[in-house]
Amino acid sequence: MSQPPQAPPTASREFRDFINCCLQRDPSQRWPAGKLLNHPFITHNTTTPGAAAAVNSSNQVHQPHCSLPTPLHQGSPPTPPPPFLILLFGELMVSLKLQKRLAASVLKYGRGTIWLDPNEVNEISMANSRQPIRKLVKDGFVIRNPTKLHSRSRARRMNDADSRPVVVFSTMRAMFL
């Protein structure tokens, strides 16, 4: 059996301890997620104070708004966002996709024809039936995309239909003859 990966020796002692607690091969020795969130590396990390605050408040955050400090070291590559932020944004995107699909089916619009106001994520996520979605459309939180014309002939037909007078009497007279 191969050994689990080790943290780089240049990393802090707290980080190496945190990684060792995460990467235990035996599941009975591996720390549960709740205990890992209380690890000193997460709770007392001085290099990224925004991360500890985001972890502690992630249950109360409905619309993600977190700023992590930017590394100022010369020549260092940008660090990827912490995994919990990726999960948080991923869940938000899935929720918006499902809400768009639900709104399109309720309003009988096609795929890709719905716009959702991203500033009203909470309001939109609460709408889980026909009546609230219709109210969101009325309030302007759900908007139908304008239709796109892909051919010149279709555009000409639409323009001709708009400019032609409607002849109702000749059709009605033909019905009675």
Q: Which residues contact 107 (CB under 8 A, 6 or more apart)?
A: 114, 133, 134, 137, 142, 144
57-101: pLDDT as tens digits: 444 444 433 344 444 444 555 565 555 544 445 554 556 666 666
- Report the pLDDT value the prediction gives residue 33, as an integer from 0 to 100: 81
Does the predicted model carry a pTM greater than 0.85? no
pLDDT at 114 over 80: no
- Report the pLDDT value the prediction gives residue 148, as an integer from 0 to 100: 58
- At residue 112 the predicted structure's pLDDT band, cuts being 50, 70 and 90, is low
Architecture of the domain defined by 91-165:
Orthogonal Bundle (1.10)
13-61: pLDDT as tens digits: 888 888 888 877 788 888 888 888 888 888 775 444 444 444 454 444 4
Domain with CATH 1.10.1650.10 in the chain: 91-165
Q: Which residues contact 86 (CB under 8 A, 6 or more apart)?
A: none
Looking at this protein, which amino acid is placed at residue 10?
T
Nearest 10 degrees: CA dihedral of 8, 11, 16, 18? -130
Highest averaged pLDDT of the listed ranges 56-60, 106-110, 163-167: 106-110
